[in-house]
Amino acid sequence: MGILNVTPDSFAESGAVDVRMAIDRALTMEADGADIVDVGGESTRPGAEPVDAESELARVMPVIEAVRGRLRIPISVDTYKAAVADAALEAGADMVNDVSGLLYDPALADVVARRGASIVLMHTRGRSKDMYEQAEYGDVALDVAAELQSRVDTAVAAGVPLTSIVVDPGVGFAKRPVHSYGVLARLPELAAAIRRPLLVGPSRKSFMRAAAGGADAAGRDWTTAAAVTAAVLNGAHIVRVHAVGPMVQVVRAAEEIRQAG
């Protein structure tokens, strides 16, 4: 899954993205081997300011409408807002990537069910500004699995087919570095507990800052490669990344290792 941010304040990329630039990036991701392009109009990095639905729609809709006719691969919309998801799915998006796991806008589940779309339910706690205050776990893998299962149950109760649900343990969200590394190491336990496909999105995140020698986000592609390798070896079905071309190679090599084992 290639990350296509159309925000002026992405933690991993700089500057606003216009529609022409977004089309070029999406086409390049597809050519580089992406299987899904994930379009996002609100930064959800820790400490980020929330964006209202009108502003988010103004960012993502021109991009989704423009790339829909150009891409052969599915489009995901990275949003937790029901109104944004509804418009994006109407415009041709295929799935919703909800970083809140239906916690921020429960009406999103009804939209996904009505539209017959797929959804990624990510684990988090709290909002961007206070999520680290809630990073207290007894057993991080078991706690995350239990909370994700609750989110899956909510989606199914709203009419979303179980086969349309992917779960994301949310590395870097409401987790200290030790928790994020713990989740990566124990993905098989999560998969066994929830029995849904796993998406993992470690790309350039700050939990790897120390391992990257203090590098900023743009300098964390090597640590991202290590995290992506671990994710694939431990059973991830989808990895969400910024640098699609290099990470496709990482995924292919890790997949060969996994299959050989």
Check which CATH number belongs to the domain holding 26 and give it. Answer: 3.20.20.20
Residue at 125: amino acid letter: R
CB of 171 within 8 A of CB of 180?
Answer: yes
Q: Which residues contact 121 (CB under 8 A, 6 or more apart)?
A: 98, 101, 102, 148, 151, 152, 155, 165, 166, 167, 168
CB of 92 within 8 A of CB of 64?
Answer: yes
Q: Provide DSSP, 5-36.
A: E--TT-SSS-S---HHHHHHHHHHHHHHT-S-
From 191, 257, 253, select the one nearest 33 (Cα to Cα). Answer: 253
CA distance 257 to 51: 42
pLDDT by residue for the chain (261 residues), tens only, comes to 999 999 875 444 444 568 899 999 999 999 999 999 999 999 877 667 788 999 999 999 999 999 998 999 999 999 999 999 999 999 999 999 999 999 999 999 999 999 999 999 999 998 877 888 888 999 999 999 999 999 999 999 999 999 999 999 999 999 999 999 999 999 999 999 999 999 999 999 999 999 999 999 999 999 999 999 999 999 999 999 999 999 999 999 999 999 999
Could you list the residue range(s) of the whole structural domain that residue 136 is in?
A: 2-260
CA distance 261 to 249: 19
- The per-residue pLDDT for 46 is 67
CA distance 192 to 91: 35
Active site residues: 205, 240
Give the global pTM: 0.93
- The per-residue pLDDT for 17 is 61
CB of 230 within 8 A of CB of 184?
Answer: yes
Number of domains in the chain: 1
CA-CA-CA-CA torsion sign (254, 259, 260, 261): positive
Q: Which residues contact 148 (CB under 8 A, 6 or more apart)?
A: 101, 121, 123, 167, 169, 190, 194
Q: What is the CA radius of gyration of the chain?
A: 17
From 195, 255, 191, select the one nearest 228 (Cα to Cα). Answer: 255
- The per-residue pLDDT for 134 is 85
- The per-residue pLDDT for 14 is 47
